[in-house]
């Protein structure tokens, strides 16, 4: 990205990136010519599968974005031993000051603060006392900030989605391969207690050979999205320009891990369809006559459904719905030749065990509960964050860095899962045409085994 290579990202550049979401994501034939196979790996690049770095005595963290999500991540990190917060950054100075106070109250030295405009994060990334940069900012900033961190020798831990365009996904992959730095998307749902239990069951063959999965992000956020809160405004702006699955990874990540996507299987192609848009327009029309939001128009349908086919012939149904009055659900259903698990509420049916669902999960939790949750459940409950999954995710990432282990999720996972956003937009815009998925591993998925 030219702005990064030239040493700065201008406001104009970032606005053009955001604007491209309405045009560039749809113009897939131009941006993605040959993208499904990907550009050839340069001599300076090599795969980051299994990437390890020397064990650290402590992990020094820099954080960009100290709003609601960043504050939650900070709380988790402050509860983990051998983790030091060295720098915090936000465009709002008060949030930086508040975060500095929290760190000091936990007995650590006051971290450096960065709040001098939208590109001050670059100065954080240049510090020599930071090992990993956490990024919890609006979506359009995720990829350029992660690239900046890696180019400055830091590992990147980036919130979801990791990127909004296929081009940005490739930038993350190429930069990680060039710098040999970790770039992990912080998909906390992969660390949920139920998701990790199911992962253990899948790896032990309880559900047989997997054939189909269903996932979603169903969250009734319409009233929030129509508000004037800053985080609502930028999210609503994306819905004004884009029609597709704008937030695919919470539901998709766990299903992809069950299926071993990028580890023996890969996404092959997808087809996406959106319903009519009604809810946001209804709420807009109820606003007062002088409200500026009365002039807004919304592109994203109330419900998007995307179907994904994998190289091994499996299918995935993925939904996105932040408008309709449905109870929260990520569905989290996985079907195999030996049985089916479905969440919200959790239930299981195994071949040969009657015809209905089993709803008592305690026997399965005792037998197949993931070792991480058995080890960390008490701490996860204290630290909080989406039922404890945030703490487990952050603890695990820190332990991998402290002990010099390979990470659970790689840049290829973040790129593949995030790419469903632009690919679904492309499919919807083309009349629900099939769109070829992208192999960010450049064939490396064939020889890699899924981890448990």
pLDDT for residue 13 is more than 90: no
Mark whether 223 and 357 lie in a shared domain.
Answer: yes
Both ends of the chain: CA-CA distance in Å? 35
Query: Of 139, 166, 186, which closes a domain?
Result: 186
Q: What is the pTM of this model?
A: 0.93
Task: Give a yes or no: residue 393 inside a domain.
Answer: no
Average pLDDT over every residue of 29-42: 60
Assess whether pLDDT exceeds 70 at residue 30: no
CATH number at residue 67: 3.40.50.720
Kindly state whether residue 297 falls inside one of the protein's structural domains.
yes
Residue position matching structure tokens 């008592």: 360
Contacts of 29 (CB under 8 A, 6+ apart): none
Q: Are residues 220 and 147 in the same domain?
A: no
Which of 171, 186, 201 is a domain's end point?
A: 186
| Residue finishing a domain among 186, 202, 228 | 186
Distance, CA of 188 to CA of 385 (rounded, Å): 9
- pLDDT of the residue at 9: 43
Please state, for a pLDDT cut of 90, what percent of the chain lies above it: 88
Give the CA-trace dihedral at 98, 100, 106, 110, to 10 degrees. -160
Do 129 and 273 reside in the same domain of the chain?
no
Structure tokens at 136: 């919890």
| Pair (78, 202) in one structural domain | no
- 213 has which bridge partners? 316, 334
Query: With 60 as the cut, is the pLDDT of residue 344 above it?
Result: yes
Per-residue pLDDT at 387 exceeds 80: yes
Q: Provide the H-helix boundaries in 138-245.
A: 139-151, 166-179, 193-203, 222-225, 230-241
In this prediction, residues 418-423 reach a mean pLDDT of 98
Q: Are residues 141 and 252 in the same domain?
A: no
How many angstroms separate the CA atoms of 89 and 105, rounded?
18
Where b means 16+ CB within 10 Å and e means fewer, 281-319 reads eebbeeeeeeeeeeebebbbbbbbbbbbbbbeebebbbb
Q: What pLDDT was estimated at residue 37? A: 65
Rounded to an integer, the average pLDDT of 335-358 is: 97
Conformation bin of residue 78: beta by default, left when phi > 0, alpha when psi is -120 to 50: alpha
Which band of pLDDT confidence, cut at 50, 70 and 90, is reported for residue 451? Answer: confident
Residue 386 falls inside a structural domain = no
SS3 (DSSP) at 309: strand
In this structure, is residue 25 part of a structural domain? no
Domain enclosing residue 75, as ranges: 54-186
The verdict on 246 and 212 lying in the same domain is yes
CB within 8 Å of 22: residues ≥ 6 apart: 241, 242, 299
In a domain, 9, yes or no: no
Is pLDDT at 431 greater than 60 in this prediction? yes
Q: What's the rounded mean pLDDT across residues 39-58?
A: 95
Q: List pLDDT tens digits, range 69-107.
A: 999 999 999 999 999 999 999 999 999 999 999 999 999
Separation CA 72–CA 427 (nearest Å):
35
pLDDT at 31 over 80: no
Assess contact for 64 and 137: CB atoms under 8 A. yes
CA distances from 191 to 67, 120, 199, 365, 417 (A): 22, 32, 10, 15, 16
User: Mean pLDDT for the chain?
Assistant: 93
284 and 427 co-located in one domain:
yes
Predicted confidence band of residue 384 (pLDDT cuts 50, 70, 90): confident
290 with 224, same domain: the answer is yes
pLDDT score of 5 more than 70: no
Stretch 136-145: mean pLDDT: 98
Q: What is the pLDDT of residues 261-304, one digit of tens each?
A: 999 999 999 999 999 999 999 999 999 999 999 999 999 999 99
23 in a domain, yes or no? Answer: no
Give me the CATH number covering residue 347: 3.30.360.10
**Cβ neighbours, 10 Å, residue 405:** 14
What's the pLDDT at 35? 53
Task: Decide: 314 and 258 in contact? Cβ < 8 Å.
Answer: no
**Both 87 and 154 in a single domain?**
yes
Question: Would you call 43 helix, strand, or coil by DSSP?
Answer: coil
Split at pLDDT 50, 70, 90, the class of 383 is confident
**CA–CA distance, 209 with 212 (Å, rounded to integer):** 10
- Whether 381 is covered by a domain: the verdict is no
pLDDT computed for residue 23 by the predictor: 43
Residue 77 sits in the same domain as residue 113? yes
Based on the fold, state whether residues 219 and 146 are members of the same structural domain: no
Give the total number of structural domains in the chain.
Answer: 2
Residue 155 has pLDDT above 70, yes or no: yes
Total length of the chain: 452
Has residue 438 been placed in a domain?
yes
- Spatial strand order of the sheet with 315-321 comes to 347-350, 339-342, 333-336, 210-218, 315-321, 304-310, 267-274, 435-436
The runs of H, that is alpha helices, within 268-340 are 279-285
Residues 170 and 207 in one domain: no
Q: Is residue 200 scored above 80 in pLDDT?
A: yes
Looking at residue 36, its pLDDT comes to 59
Tell me the pLDDT band of 129, cut-offs 50, 70 and 90: very high
443: left (phi over 0), alpha (psi -120 to 50) or beta: left
Which residues lie below 8 Å from residue 33, measured CB to CB, with a gap of 6+?
none
Paired tokens of 9? 């990202």
State how far the Cα of 362 lies from the Cα of 267, in Å rounded to an integer: 33
């Amino acid at each position: 990205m030219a702005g990064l290579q030239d040493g700065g990202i201008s406001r104009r550049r970032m606005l053009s990136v955001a604007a491209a979401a309405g045009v560039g994501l749809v113009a897939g034939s131009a941006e993605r010519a040959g993208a499904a196979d990907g550009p050839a790996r340069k001599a300076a690049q090599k795969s980051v599968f299994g990437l390890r770095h020397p064990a650290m005595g402590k992990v020094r963290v820099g954080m960009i974005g100290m709003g609601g999500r960043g504050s939650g991540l900070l709380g988790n990190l402050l509860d983990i031993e051998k983790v030091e917060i060295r720098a915090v950054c936000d465009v709002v100075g008060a949030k930086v000051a508040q975060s500095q106070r929290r760190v000091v109250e936990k007995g650590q030295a006051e971290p450096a603060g960065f709040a001098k405009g939208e590109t001050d994060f670059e100065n954080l990334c240049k510090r020599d006392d930071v090992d990993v940069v956490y990024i919890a900012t609006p979506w359009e900033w995720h990829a350029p900030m992660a690239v900046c961190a890696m180019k400055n020798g830091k590992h990147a831990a980036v919130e979801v989605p990791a990127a909004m365009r296929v081009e940005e996904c490739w930038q993350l992959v190429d930069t990680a391969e060039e710098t040999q730095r970790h770039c992990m998307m912080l998909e906390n749902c992969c660390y949920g207690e139920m998701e990790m239990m199911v992962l253990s069951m899948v790896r032990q063959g309880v559900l047989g050979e997997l054939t189909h999965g269903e996932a979603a992000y169903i969250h009734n956020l319409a009233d929030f999205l129509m508000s004037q809160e800053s985080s609502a405004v930028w999210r609503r702006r994306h819905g004004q320009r884009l029609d597709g699955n704008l937030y695919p990874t919470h539901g998709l990540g766990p299903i992809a891990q069950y299926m071993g996507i990028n580890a023996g299987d890969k996404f092959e192609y997808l087809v996406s369809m959106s319903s009519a848009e009604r809810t946001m327009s209804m709420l807009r029309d109820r606003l007062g006559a002088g409200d500026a939001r009365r002039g807004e128009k919304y592109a994203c349908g109330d419900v998007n459904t995307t179907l994904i086919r994998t190289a091994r012939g499996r299918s995935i149904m993925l939904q996105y719905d932040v408008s309709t009055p449905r109870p929260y659900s990520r569905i989290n259903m996985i079907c195999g030749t030996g049985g089916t698990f479905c969440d919200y509420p959790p239930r299981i049916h195994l071949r040969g065990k009657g015809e209905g669902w089993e709803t008592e999960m305690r026997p399965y939790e005792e037998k197949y509960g993931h070792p991480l949750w058995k080890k960390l459940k008490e701490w996860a409950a204290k630290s909080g964050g989406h039922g404890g999954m945030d703490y487990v995710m952050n603890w695990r990432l820190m332990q991998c860095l402290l002990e010099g282990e390979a990470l659970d999720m790689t840049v290829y996972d973040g790129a593949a899962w995030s790419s469903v956003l632009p690919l679904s937009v492309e499919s919807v815009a083309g009349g629900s045409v099939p769109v070829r998925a992208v192999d960010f591993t450049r064939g490396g998925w064939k020889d890699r085994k899924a981890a448990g």
